[in-house]
């Protein structure tokens, strides 16, 4: 393996945070050449500290795997607005919905991930989630908070608190006395 002198390829450079859809936010540690089966490949070496994972991605495969730069600040604002919306839960079987949520999480699209966070979030007063719902929610929350933290230069805890603050603003979570008395009158 030979580290390349030029540390920039396709607009990506070493030390830069990027999003790799299947693993979330990582940092480009280096760009190197490696010989595989007689061919010399140029590779981005990505480090995902939270997972203690190092990934080598061929430069030629960047587009096909969906690696991208961190979201812009306006995209982060849009994602935070998305979580304040009303949850949209389809009336399909859980297994089908779970597959759709998993696909959104692994798409690497910040808005799609924020939709999963919004749809699977449960406040204290709401019924308990199933194990698989909680797992998907935590996975989506982890991806979203890591990217928002990296963009806004926040700690992971601060990013989670920012998302939770926005989740608390969503319509179904705010229960007013008027809404409760309407429910009682309807009963």
95-153 pLDDT tens trace: 999 999 999 999 989 999 999 999 999 877 777 888 999 999 999 999 999 999 999 99
pLDDT for position 8? 62
pLDDT for position 7? 60
pLDDT for position 90? 83
Q: What is the mean pLDDT of the chain?
A: 83
Q: If you average pLDDT over residues 157-180, what whole number do you get?
A: 71
Which domain range does residue 135 map to? 73-173
Q: What share of the chain is helix, strand, coil (3-state, %, to 5)?
A: 50, 20, 30
Q: If you average pLDDT over residues 18-29, what whole number do you get?
A: 90
pLDDT for position 178? 37
- On the CB side of 40, CA atoms within 13 Å amount to 7
CB-based contacts of 124: which residues, under 8 Å, 6+ apart? none
By residue count, the chain amounts to: 187
pLDDT confidence bin for 26, thresholds 50/70/90? very high
Separation CA 31–CA 67 (nearest Å): 15
Residue 84 has pLDDT above 50, yes or no: yes
Residues 93 and 162 in one domain: yes
pLDDT, tens only, 60-75 = 888 888 899 999 888 9
pLDDT for position 174? 42
Instruction: Please name which of 136, 134, 95 lies closest in space to residue 113, comparing C-alpha atoms.
Output: 136
pLDDT for position 137? 94
Residues 77 and 169 in one domain: yes
CA 186, 89, 110, 126: dihedral to nearest 10 degrees? Answer: 50
Residues 115 and 169 in one domain: yes
Burial 126-156 (b: 16+ CB within 10 A, else e): eeeeeeebeebbebbbbbbbbbbbbbeeeee
Q: Look at residue 181 and tell me if it is in a domain.
A: no
Residues 64 and 115 in one domain: no
Residues 49 and 28 in one domain: yes
Domain boundary (32, 51, 69) is at 69
Residue 180 has pLDDT above 80, yes or no: no
Residues 21 and 55 in one domain: yes
From first CA to last CA, the distance across the chain in angstroms is: 71
Give CA separation, 26 vs 14, 22, 30, in Å: 11, 11, 12
Residue 101: burial class (beta carbons within 10 Å; 0-12, 13-18, 19+): buried
- Residues in a beta bridge with 57: 44
Number of domains in the chain: 2
Q: Look at residue 83 and tell me if it is in a domain.
A: yes
Percent of the chain with pLDDT over 70: 86
Domain boundary (69, 103, 118) is at 69
CATH code of 148's domain: 1.20.58.1290
């Amino acid at each position: 393996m030979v580290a390349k002198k030029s540390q920039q390829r396709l607009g990506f450079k070493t030390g830069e945070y990027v999003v790799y859809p299947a693993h979330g936010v990582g940092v480009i540690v280096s760009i190197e050449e490696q010989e595989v089966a007689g061919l010399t490949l140029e590779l981005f070496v990505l480090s995902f500290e939270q997972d203690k994972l190092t990934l080598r991605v061929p430069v030629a495969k960047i587009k096909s795997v969906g690696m991208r730069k961190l979201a812009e600040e306006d995209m982060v604002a849009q994602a935070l607005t998305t979580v304040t919306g009303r949850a949209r839960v389809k009336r399909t079987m859980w297994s089908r919905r779970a597959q759709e949520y998993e696909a959104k999480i692994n798409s690497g699209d910040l808005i799609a991930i924020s939709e999963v966070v919004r749809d699977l979030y449960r406040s204290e007063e709401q019924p308990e989630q199933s194990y698989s719902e909680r797992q998907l929610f935590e996975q989506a929350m982890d991806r979203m908070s890591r990217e928002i933290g990296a963009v806004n230069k926040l700690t992971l805890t601060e990013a989670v608190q920012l998302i939770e603050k926005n989740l608390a603003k969503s319509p179904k979570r705010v229960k007013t006395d008027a809404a409760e008395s309407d429910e009682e009158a309807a009963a």
